[in-house]
């Protein structure tokens, strides 16, 4: 059966750039999975997702034209049940014959160990690609629709944007598939300006070439590379460099905004450089998707930018002038906001935060700042910060939310707060605390350098988590409207570097002002604390896995009561470092036996080891080595030197093996049994101060 390349293209009105990658992948994955289930492709085949703002497409090589015919053996009723005493077929025989489309006389017999049965061979004709694809497309496209999908005709069909043409080809053959009232054909459309088309596609595999000739780079990876090559060439030519914090995101965004990307260098009035760099960069990035440039020596922002056009112009100068003309009012707005906002200093904005809602049950941003004023300064000792500076910075930390600049560019909260603080004559340390208390915003972002920022950031995140959980708005499934997962991840990362600050204690501090404000009873307080504590540990688990800690290691560390996140991470790292030790398997096995034995009885838990009752050589040896190491282990754990403690404990693998092999722990002699369990209980307790190695299962 011939196999050809399959092409599917949905020609759309301009799709949102942010949705393009997910929509493209959903189409490719959905169609491929349907073909794989139908047996029209094999698992080694790959689906190639292709997309531009005006189309979603997929190319799949090696697709069969139809399923192969199958011969199916059907087993019917037993011969005894199929015929009566007169040899006439019963209802069971007639029903089976009817189900396979044969006369009873044409049925065969199947002999088995259980007896003889009626049987039949049925030829099942394989479905053709067109039939299967029609159903698959309808299902896949329906799943791709969302709450933001549109209707553009009288039918109930919905999609992210109106679909204007449909291409479905198998090799050179157009498959008679229909969708959204459109019949499939073999003609695509090129660049709106350069080569609108339509353009015939001779073979499905010719699709990328046909579009390239029509000024469309349909492969997002190819467009991304084209943009990267062009902007790097311009930067090198002009002896500049990129603002590295924005370049990758802008390349991605421009990839999904263009079909034929062309990079152009532009300039703006150097007078705008008096505005803080972050504001200029946001204005350029968000309004025109421009790349900000810096001087290679001073690293200061330059009055130049690179913009990606979606057209190849013969008059580049005119196009450059157009972009410069468009970007000027955006930069003028930023300058206006900067000057206007300074007329009202941050400290004068504080009282107006009472009119800005944080969450309807928890009250205003002003109420939140008041709650933080109870908790953040109290963290100063643990953080090593100055309480007065913490409180002063805190009172100013949210005021920039009321500025015109942050209203226009919300991503600048904190950043512009720091700039306005400096402009008003505040100390640099205060400005640093205002900006950095939002750090880290993502799991890979840098941590704040300011101790005051750490104190405010911890209090802020703890308040948000306790508050939102407490009013019943915890995340459900993929829905997390208050970004609590990100908030908890930031809290975990901050606490990882605060060894003396316990997670439970921090959450209790944050709970106190909220519980008083909302009159929570004791039961609700405890439930909220438990939920948030568990949620934060789940976030720690995710972070640990991202850092290379195995799931089993994380479970082993979490099996022990958690004090500080810093301590939890240190214990997990020590356990992880032990995994390559030659004795690890024996040590894990020993811990499992320890857990099983000690789980069988709680008798004598407060009894110590009586050395006089050690009878067997192996238990004497184990006891001697344990006592020799016990002080060093206690000291190492007390100093949180878990690597050293584990190094001492791992050396007990051999004597433990010998003990279990030669000593009967559950002796009939109650005194011997109690003494041996006491020895094992002491050793198990030492392991459990670091982690439950029985969880490793190596």
256 in the same domain as 150: no
* pLDDT the model gives residue 112: 81
pLDDT 10s digits, 646-681: 999 999 999 999 999 999 998 889 899 999 999 999
| Whether residue 249 sits in one domain with residue 306 | yes
Q: Is 273 exposed, middle or buried (0-12, 13-18, 19+ CB in 10 A)?
A: middle
- Token digits for 81? 């049940």
Six-digit token string for 643? 């690597």
| pLDDT above 90 (res 79) | no
Same domain, 165 and 301: no
- Token pair for 317: 């100068």
**Is 601 within a domain?**
yes
Last residue of a domain, one of 194, 213, 232: 213
Structure tokens given for 295 = 């001087």
- Indicate which CATH number applies to the domain containing 471: 1.10.3210
| In a shared domain, residues 101 and 52 | no
Question: Do 280 and 401 fall within a single domain?
Answer: no
What's the confidence (pLDDT) of residue 109?
83
Residue 618 within a domain: yes
Q: Are 12 and 23 in contact (CB under 8 A)?
A: no
Do 237 and 190 share a domain, yes or no? no
Determine the average pLDDT of the residues in 567-573: 96
Q: Which residues pair with 179 in a beta bridge?
A: 182
Indicate if the pLDDT at residue 69 is higher than 80. Answer: no
Report percent pLDDT > 70 for the chain.
Answer: 98
Query: In a 3-state reduction of DSSP, which class is residue 603?
Result: coil
Digit-coded pLDDT (tens) for 451-508:
999 999 999 999 999 999 999 999 988 889 999 999 999 999 999 999 999 999 999 9
Asked whether residue 204 is domain-assigned, the answer is yes
Is 146 a member of any domain?
yes
pLDDT at residue 1 tops 60: no
Among 316, 341, 366, the domain boundary falls at 341
Long-range contacts of 328-334 (CB under 8 A, 24+ apart): 328/268, 328/269, 330/283, 330/284, 330/287, 330/288, 331/268, 331/269, 331/272, 331/275, 331/280, 331/283, 331/284, 332/272, 333/283, 333/408, 334/272, 334/275, 334/279, 334/280, 334/282, 334/283, 334/405
The span from the CA of 55 to the CA of 211, in Å, is 11
Same domain, 608 and 673: yes
pLDDT tens figures, 366-413: 999 999 999 999 999 889 999 999 999 999 999 999 999 999 999 999
Q: Is residue 160 included in any domain, yes or no?
A: yes
pTM (2 decimals)? 0.82
Q: What is the mean pLDDT of residues 569-589?
A: 92
Note whether residue 563 is domain-resident: no
* pLDDT at residue 128 greater than cutoff 70: yes
| Same domain membership, residue 602 and residue 471 | no
By the 8 A CB rule, do 646 and 575 touch? yes
Average pLDDT, the chain: 92
pLDDT tens profile 611-642: 999 999 999 999 999 999 999 999 999 999 99
**Full 3-state SS string of 402-455:** HCHHHHHCHHHCCHHHHHHHHHCCCCHHHHHHHHHCCCCCCCCCCCCCCHHHHH
Q: Do the domain assignments include residue 559?
A: no
Residue 148 pLDDT level (bands cut at 50, 70, 90): confident
Name the pLDDT band for 24 (thresholds 50, 70, 90): very high
State the residue range of the domain holding 608. Answer: 575-695
472 and 359 in a common domain: yes
* 175 and 226 assigned to the same domain: no
- Tell whether 228 and 97 lie within a shared domain: no
Task: Give 6's strand partners.
Answer: 60, 170
Q: Do 103 and 175 belong together in one domain?
A: no
Instruction: Answer whether residue 554 is part of any domain.
Output: no
**DSSP state, residue 239:** T
What is the domain count for the chain? Answer: 5
User: Of the residues 313, 341, 369, which one is the last residue of a structural domain?
Assistant: 341
What local confidence, expressed as pLDDT, does residue 157 receive? 82
Instruction: pLDDT band for 52, please (50, 70, 90 cuts).
Output: very high
Taken in order 261, 265, 267, 272, the sign of the CA dihedral is: positive
């Amino acid at each position: 059966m011939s196999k050809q390349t399959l092409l599917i293209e949905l020609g759309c009105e301009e799709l949102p750039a942010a949705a393009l990658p997910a929509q493209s992948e959903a189409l490719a994955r959905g169609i491929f999975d349907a073909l794989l289930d139908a047996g029209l492709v094999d698992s080694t085949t790959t689906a190639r997702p292709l997309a531009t703002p005006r189309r979603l497409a997929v190319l799949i090589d090696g697709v069969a034209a139809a399923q192969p015919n199958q011969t199916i053996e059907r087993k019917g009723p037993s011969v005894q049940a199929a015929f009566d005493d007169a040899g006439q077929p019963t209802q069971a025989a007639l029903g089976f014959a009817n189900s396979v489309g044969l006369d009873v006389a044409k049925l065969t017999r199947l002999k088995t160990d259980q007896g003889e049965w009626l049987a039949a061979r049925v030829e099942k004709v394989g479905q053709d690609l067109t039939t299967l694809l029609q159903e698959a497309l309808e299902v896949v496209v329906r799943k791709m629709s969302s709450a933001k999908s549109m209707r553009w005709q009288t039918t109930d069909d919905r999609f992210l944007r109106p679909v204007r043409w449909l291409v479905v080809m198998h090799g050179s053959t157009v498959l008679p598939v229909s969708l959204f009232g459109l019949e499939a054909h073999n003609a695509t459309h090129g660049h709106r300006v350069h080569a609108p088309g339509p353009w015939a596609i001779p073979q499905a595999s010719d699709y990328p070439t046909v579009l390239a000739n029509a000024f469309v780079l349909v492969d997002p990876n190819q467009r991304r590379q084209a943009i990267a090559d062009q902007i790097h060439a311009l930067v090198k030519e002009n002896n500049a460099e990129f603002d590295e914090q924005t370049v990758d995101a802008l390349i991605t965004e421009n990839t999904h905004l263009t079909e034929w990307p062309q990079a152009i260098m532009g300039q703006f009035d150097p007078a705008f450089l008096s505005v803080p760099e972050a504001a200029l960069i946001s204005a350029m990035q968000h309004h025109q998707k421009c790349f900000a440039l810096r001087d290679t020596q001073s690293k200061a922002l330059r009055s130049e930018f690179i913009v990606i056009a979606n057209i190849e112009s013969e008059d580049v100068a005119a196009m450059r002038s157009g972009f410069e003309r468009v970007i000027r009012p955006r930069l003028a707005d930023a300058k206006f906001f900067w000057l206007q906002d300074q007329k009202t200093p941050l400290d004068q904005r504080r009282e107006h935060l009472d009119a800005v809602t944080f969450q309807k049950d928890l009250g205003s941003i002003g109420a939140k700042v008041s709650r933080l004023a109870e908790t953040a300064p109290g963290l100063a000792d643990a953080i090593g910060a100055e309480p007065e500076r913490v409180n002063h910075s805190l009172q100013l930390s949210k005021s920039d939310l009321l500025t015109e600049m942050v209203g226009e560019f919300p991503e600048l909260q904190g950043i512009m707060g720091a700039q306005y603080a400096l402009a008003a004559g505040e100390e640099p340390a205060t400005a640093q605390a205002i900006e950095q208390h939002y750090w880290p915003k993502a799991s890979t972002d840098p941590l704040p350098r300011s101790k005051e920022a750490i104190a405010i950031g911890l209090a802020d995140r703890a308040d948000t988590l306790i508050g939102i959980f407490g009013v019943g708005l915890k995340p459900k499934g993929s829905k997390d409207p208050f970004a609590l997962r990100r908030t908890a991840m930031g809290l975990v990362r901050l606490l990882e570097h605060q060894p003396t600050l316990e997670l439970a204690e921090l959450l209790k501090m944050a709970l106190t002002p909220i519980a008083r404000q909302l009159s929570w009873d004791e039961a609700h307080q405890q439930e909220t604390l438990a939920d948030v504590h568990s949620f934060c540990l789940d976030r720690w688990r995710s972070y640990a896995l991202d850092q290379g800690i195995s799931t089993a290691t994380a479970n082993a560390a979490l099996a022990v009561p958690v004090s500080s996140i810093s301590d939890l991470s240190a214990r997990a790292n020590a356990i992880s470092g032990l995994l390559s030790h030659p004795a690890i398997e024996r040590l894990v096995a020993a811990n499992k036996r320890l857990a099983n034995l000690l789980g069988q009885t709680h008798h004598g838990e407060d009894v110590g080891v009586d050395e006089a009752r050690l009878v067997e050589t192996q238990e004497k040896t184990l006891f001697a080595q344990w006592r020799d190491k016990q002080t060093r282990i206690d000291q190492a754990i007390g100093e949180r030197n878990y690597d050293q403690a584990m190094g001492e404990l791992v050396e007990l693998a051999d004597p433990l093996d010998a003990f279990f092999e030669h000593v009967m722990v559950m002796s009939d002699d109650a005194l011997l049994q109690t003494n041996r369990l006491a020895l094992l209980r002491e050793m198990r307790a030492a392991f459990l101060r670091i982690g439950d190695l029985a969880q490793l299962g190596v």
